[in-house]
Amino acid sequence: MTDDELVEQVTGAARPEPVADELRYLPAWHDLDAAGRDRAFARARVSRRLEAALDPDGLSTTARAVLARISGTLRR
């Protein structure tokens, strides 16, 4: 996989859910160097704005992922 493809994967909002409070990173994130991680962050900021503008409720894929998680969890 090329660096740009790895950056694109990390740009997406899909992430494995934590297991027993341990956070799990996207494997592709580990394959990027610092510059690639910064590129993915910058690309994600733009992408989420575009996604929110395309969504009828103004929600990005990050917001949708969070809402999916809270629908299946109890408040502590």
Binding footprint of other proteins on the chain (CB under 8 A): 1-2, 4-5, 8-15, 18, 23-26, 29, 34-35, 37-38, 40-41, 43-55, 57-71, 73, 75-76
Nearer to other proteins (CB atom), residue 20 or residue 46: 46
* Phi (first) and psi of residue 22, to 5 degrees: -90, 120
3 state DSSP class of 22: strand
E strand residue ranges, the chain: none
Instruction: Give the shortest CB-44-to-other proteins separation in angstroms.
Output: 7
Q: Which residues contact 25 (CB under 8 A, 6 or more apart)?
A: 15
* Smallest separation (angstroms) from other proteins to the CB of 18: 6
